[in-house]
Structure 1
Amino acid sequence: MLYLTSAVLGAALCCFAFLGLRTRRVDGPLDDYMTARNSQTSSTLGLSFLASGMGAWILFAPPEIGAFVGPLALAGYAFGSTLPFIILALYGPKIRRALPEGRSIAEFAQACYGLGVRRWVTLVSIAYMACFLAAELTAIGAITALLSDVPPSLVVIGVALTTLIYTVVGGLRASLATDRWQAWLLLVLLVVVGSMALWRLPALPSEAAMPAIPVTSALSVALTLVIAVTAANLFHQGYWQRVWAAKDDHSLGRGAWLGGAMTMVVVMVIGSLGILAAMSGVALGTPPMPFFALLTDAPAWLSLPALVLAVTLVASSVDTLQNGIASLIVARSEKRGVSLEAARWATVALMIPVVVVALQGLSILRLFLIADLLCASIVVPVLLGLWQRMTPIAAIGGGVAGLLGAILPGWLSQGSVSAGVVAASFPDSIPTLGPFLGALVMSTLVSVALAYAIKKQPV
């Protein structure tokens, strides 16, 4: 079984590499390597948004939220995962028109506010995506150890190297090409594995009930997830690359709505399996993994589609993140050859520390929450860039206020600044509403107040 599993996973990765490499443009310019500008239809974008956003996290987080907090929080998670696509559908065409040669949210920030804000936005975006990368590779290692005898490090390195091969050579076009196939494959595999998990679900006992958590607590978790997931995903450079990759505004809008709708359905369906697992009384494991608890003692053959599903989920998000981070790191240059080479080496270099972290098998949920909070503190000032009254001072002031707002709830409740900072670093790795709400409210209020108080100067 070890050799069969290794062969199947290897074949899947080879297929992804082939699909990505065959779309490369040998003589394409750096801009095409990074953006595939004005080339993608709505259906391609919709599938790409789904594949890019769907990582191995959907097999862990939504089922756990459903199992322990219930359908209300799960709905918040699903809406939070979908809201970035809605914002891109509504806001993306305006950004395309305002910055037709743009490449990233960082360049949009520079066009609106100047170089200083661009650097801050770039730092936050890279930090978030690096956490996302490490989390995905850590997850595939954990899933491999859970479902097979294949060494987890072998799969982690295999996924990282395979995605590097086609993203380094083919850039964004390679990622878009694999996304189309990966999206359909993951939908099919989710149906197969999910159906088997549901079929193996024990009969619900007569006293089965939804998770017993107060409505106010469930609403708090739901709102926290909406803010955290939405703010963080708006700094996902892979999504912003696709804003300019769209053939036109209509394709972008339809593609974003399609990707958002499919994402919401997938999150709700997978999360609902967690609710059913909790209601059935099966042992959820330590740490709890409701989705995989349903596969306990499943037939050996089921581990193969489950593993291929996990590899597909991870590869589809990792290649997007690799290309997205590289596009933020590499500056524009008149010399195409030098810049393209730099883009490729940046993609390789960024994966070294990420793979090292992933091989440790650490939980990086706390780092994820901190990165989400950084995004939440500046997302409103950045998106207000198209408002004519906004100024660089208003954006910077709003970002600083967002950071202060993040520590304010803990500061007020515990009586010291240091306690507020600790609370905003999520020491128990549990998402809490206070820091996120404080960051969002303070950044918005201060940005708007300064925009009205200070006359705008030319950037």
Structure 2
Amino acid sequence: MVSTTVALGATVAVVLAFSAVGLLAARGRVRSIEDFISARDSADRGTLTATLVASSMGVWILFSPAEAGAAFGGLPAILGYALGSAIPFLLFIPVGLRIRKLLPEGHSLTEFAYARFGPVMYGFILAISVFYMFVFLAAEMTGIAGALSLVAGVPLWTTSLLIGGFVLVYTVYGGLVASIVTDTVQTLVILPLLAVGFGGALLALGGPGEIHASATAADAALLDLGFRPGLEFGVYVVFAILGANMLNQGVWQRVYAADGEATLRSGFGTAAVLVVPMVLLSGLFGVAAAALGLAGPDTASIAFFLVLQEAFPSWVILAVVVLAVLLVMSSADTMVNAIASVVTADLARLLDDPDQRTLWLGGRGLTVAVALGAIAIGSQGYSVLELFLTADLLAAAVFVPFLAGLYTRDLSGVGAVAASVAALAVGIAFFPLLRGPLALVPGLVESLPAPSFLYSFVGATGVAAAGTLVGTLVGSAGVDLDSLDRRIRSLDEPVADGGVEAPTDEETEVTDR
């Protein structure tokens, strides 16, 4: 085990170094709220790729894929996780181009939801998006706190407060500009560390042949591509990750940060390719842990670090601690800034003629409050994968009607909400992790179908898609999609009423004519 003093010293050094990078990068470059939350057209191809990889591949990749490999179905589960991590980036190429075409001056997904669907769907999307980002941040704090507690005995609250506090400092000061710059540097360090860590583990454990033999002897299903539980996990995790990323404000911000359409295509496409081996490598640590008898039902979530302790000396484990700190900072600053951008954009609409100072202080203050709540949850030691799956279910029920609004004129806000609510009801009915809270209602659990993650996620997405199709076929909203951007204003130019009103029927008719 690494000593607590050494681990804390390394953590402090890393967070100080990257906080300094973020603060210096943002100095003089954040001249307005627009710069703070959008960094519009500022990222070239390499920068966009790096910030997408770093912001999406948080410390969860050292926990969730390994837990999937050890406890949810071995190799097919890992492959599903890897593909599920890549598909959203590929889908965001056409979706991102559509977003930039319809909303060239936009800032957030909630702005689009309000302009396109009106206040009810907007409230639905706002709640789910912020909840997802909150859970993502809490899961990151949970992961890094658990890692340092395991390898160095650092108290959970110390790690969460230390890393979360420094991320807040440079992100609240520098916004998306600071996040993108630190992401770029972090990616250059993360990729080599992850590759070297996996290669070293292979050698220390006797090579691929030895690990394969151990896995086959321990449980041949771990390497069976046709293993049904693994295939089921691989299928539903694709839906889970896809829905979550479509409602991830951090990704929407990077759509606008790209300096052109070619950059968007290249950046998202390259990121999709890079994340596959990253998730696969991490997941294989879970298979190795199960093969070596290191991971049981209560320890599968820390399988990655159990293998490290088995295979490596303390100084190598310390290097992986640095990797974990970098991973959590790269994704945590994205979530903090994403929450800030949503809060700031919505404050501009909700408040009566807000000035710049009010938007700055209000947006940052509310963001700090949300982040502190996530840090507090991160110190409790919950399962990272379970935290993500709960938030993912909500997104899986909503993302299809939400994205459909980019392409169809006829789907109304009422139709989108109806499809989402029906999908959410189906998802919750099958969702295993919500059976405990649902038991508080007498007789409810007994009336529900058998729990199944597969039926929950696929059912929620399928019902949402069917509801969207029906709502589009029978609907007659007649929304002029080309006029959406006119309902979104620059945050540096407050209007008299403090926001943009949803279109009235009369305005829609005039626009259509």
Query: Structure 1 length as normaliser, TM-score?
Result: 0.91
Amino acid aligned to 1:9? T
Which one of the candidate residues 44, 48, 65 is aligned to 2:47? 44
Deviation at residue 284 of structure 1 after TM alignment: 2.1
Counterpart CA distance in 1 for 2:428 and 2:165 is 39
Q: By how many angstroms is 1:457 displaced? A: 4.1
Do the aligned residues in 2 keep the contact of 1:168 with 1:344 (CA within 8 Å)? yes
| Aligned with residue 188 of structure 1, among 181, 186, 192 | 192
Deviates more, 1:230-239 or 1:60-69: 60-69
Match of residue 75, structure 1, among 58, 79, 91: 79
In structure 1, the partner of 2:445 is 419
Match of residue 376 from structure 1: 396
8 Å Cα contact 2:48-2:258 kept in structure 1: yes
Q: Does 1:229 align with 2:241?
A: yes
Give the superposition deviation at 1:282: 3.9
Q: For 1:248-263, what aligned pairs fall within 5 Å after superposition?
A: 248-263=260-275
CA contact (8 A) 2:429 2:448 kept: no
Shift of 1:88: 1.1
Conservation of the 8 A alpha-carbon contact between 1:282 and 1:293: no
| Mapped pair 1:33 → 2:33 | no
CA distance in 1, matches of 2:447, 2:164: 34
- Please list the CA deviations of residues 68-99 of structure 1 after superposition, one character each: whole Å capped at 9, or x if unmatched: 41222211111111111111112101111100
Contact 1:125 1:235 in 2 (8 A): yes
Alignment of 1:348-363 (within 5 A): 348-363=368-383
Q: Per-residue CA shift, 1:186-245, capped at 9, x if unaligned?
A: 112112222222222143447543427763333221111000111112111111111111
- In structure 2, do the counterparts of structure 1 residues 184 and 245 end up closer, same or farther at CA, with 3 Å as the change threshold? same
Does the aligned pair in 2 maintain the 1:175–1:319 contact within 8 Å? yes
Superposition pairs for residues 99-178 of structure 1, below 5 Å? Answer: 99-178=103-182
Deviation at 1:152, TM superposition (A): 3.5
CA–CA distance in 2 between the matches of 1:212 and 1:260? Answer: 24
Residue in 2 aligned with 1:283? 294
How far, CA to CA, are the matches of 1:306 and 1:104 in structure 2? 35
Q: Report the AA paired with residue 227 of structure 2.
A: V
**1:4 and 2:12 correspond:** no
Q: State which of 46, 52, 56 in structure 2 corresponds to 1:53.
A: 56
Matched AA of 1:283: L
Code of the aligned partner of 1:11 = A
Most deviating of 385-394 and 34-43:
385-394
Match of 1:295, SS state, is helix
Residue 439 (str. 1) matches residue 465 (str. 2): no
Change (3 A) 1:423 1:175: farther
**Amino acid in the other structure paired with 1:259:** A
Residues 132-190 of structure 1: CA deviation (Å, up to 9, x unaligned): 11111111111001111444432221101111110011001000010001111111211
Structure 2 match to 1:17: 19
Matches within 5 A, 1:393-432: 393-407=414-428, 418-419=444-445, 432=453
Alignment of 1:264-343 (within 5 A): 264-279=276-291, 281-285=292-296, 286-288=298-300, 289-297=302-310, 298-330=312-344, 331-332=347-348, 335-343=355-363
Give the conservation status (yes or no) of the 8 Å contact 1:103–1:241.
yes
Give the C-alpha shift of residue 67 in structure 1: 3.1
Aligned residue pairs total: 449
Deviation string, structure 1 residues 32-77 (Cα, Å, up to 9, x no partner): 1000011111211111111011112111121222234122221111
Choose 166-175 or 262-271, whichever is displaced more. 262-271
1:211 aligns with 2:222: yes
Counterpart residue identity of residue 117, structure 2: Y
Pairwise CA RMSD of aligned residues?
2.4
User: Where do 5+ consecutive residues of structure 1 fail to align?
Assistant: none
Identify if the C-alpha distance between structure 1 residues 160 and 245 changes in structure 2 by more than 3 Å, giving closer, same or farther: same
More off after superposition, 444-453 vs 285-294: 285-294
Q: Offset of 1:303 from its aligned partner?
A: 2.0
Question: How many angstroms does 1:394 deviate by?
Answer: 2.0
- Conserved in 1, the CA contact under 8 Å of 2:160 and 2:376? no
Mapped partners of 2:471, 2:443: distance in 1: 25
Structure 2, unaligned runs of 5 or more:
433-441, 480-502, 504-513
SS of 2:381's partner is: coil
Distance 1:40 1:422, change over 3 A: farther
Matched residue type, 1:290? A
Q: Out of 401-410 and 100-109, give the one that drifted further.
A: 401-410
Residue 65 in structure 1 maps to residue 73 in structure 2: no
- CA change 1:212–1:33 in 2 (3 A) is closer
Give the structure-2-normalised TM-score.
Answer: 0.82
The answer (yes or no) to whether the contact 1:410–1:423 under 8 Å persists in 2 is no
1:114 offset after TM fit, Å?
Answer: 1.6
Task: Work out the CA distance in 1 between the residues paired with 2:182 and 2:305.
Answer: 26
